[in-house]
Amino acid sequence: MRLEGWHLIIIIVLVLVLFAAPRLPGMARSLGQSMRIFKSEVSEMKKDGPPETDPASSDAGEGEVVNHPKSTGAASGTGSGTDVPPSNRA
């Protein structure tokens, strides 16, 4: 005799009813409370989040620095035009 999927489901349900029956109401209550908390947190995050902007309308690409001042060789002190601060060693 082969055990099929529905046979296993019946066996699992019987085992749960026989051995876990006293704990089932507590587990269901805990699961319901967790779901309520999760739903309230998700709705709170939706309310508190900044308004979403259309990423296609932005001029900046992904990972691009926006409104960064351009450095010049004389202003940075290095003469290479990079954003490396001058060393403090004498």
* Residue range(s) defining the domain that contains residue 32: 1-47
For residue 4, being part of any structural domain is answered with: yes
Q: What is the mean pLDDT of residues 56-63?
A: 58
Number of domains in the chain: 1
For residue 24, being part of any structural domain is answered with: yes
Structure tokens at 38: 């999760």
Burial class (CB in 10 A: 0-12, 13-18, 19+), 9: exposed
Enter the pTM of the model: 0.39
pLDDT at 73 over 80: no
Helix (H, G, I), strand (E, B) or coil at 2: coil
Q: Report pLDDT digits (tens) over 6-58.
A: 899 999 999 988 988 888 889 899 999 999 999 999 999 998 876 665 555 55
Answer yes or no: are the C-beta atoms of 30 and 37 closer than 8 Å: no
